[in-house]
Amino acid sequence: QFTSAFAGKLINIHPSLLPEYPGLDTHKQALENGDLMHGVTIHYVDEGLDSGPIIAQGALKIDPSQSEAKLAQRIHKIEHALLPKVIAEISKGLISLKGKEVKFESKSYFGKNNMEFFNV
């Protein structure tokens, strides 16, 4: 009920490239599965577990020799870069949720491509 009362007003930042790895231990799962890429997803919150409409994603190449803690540090850098951009665009009305679909105004940075690659 909480999420439906605030539909289109709650966002979450999740440390994986959803729909891959909803929930916890995302860095560990990415390393254990030998993934080449990992990242961050900013999405609207719905009733499901990390299942809301995706606003933006940031990705990086995984160094398979690095620790889970080091990967988490790199992911945090992407979160810190991406989240303020998304919040700014939402506050300017450039990003909104219509039903279950994310709408991007033409001036939105994320409108044409909501995936950004980082070298961190």
Taking CB atoms within 8 Å and a gap of at least 24, the contacts of 74-80 are: 74/120, 75/15, 75/27, 75/38, 75/39, 75/40, 77/118, 77/120, 78/39, 78/40, 78/118, 78/120, 79/13, 79/15, 79/40
What's the chain's average pLDDT?
94
CATH number, position 50: 3.40.50.170
Q: What is the C-alpha separation between 42 and 15, in angstroms, rounded?
A: 9
Residues 45-60: what's their mean pLDDT? 95
Number of domains the chain contains: 1
Q: Residues with catalytic annotation?
A: 14
The reported pLDDT for the residue numbered 4 is 83
Whole-model pTM? 0.92
Domain membership of residue 84 as a residue range:
2-117
pLDDT at residue 8 tops 90? no
Residues 85-89: what's their mean pLDDT? 96
pLDDT tens digits, one per residue of 39-51: 999 999 999 999 9
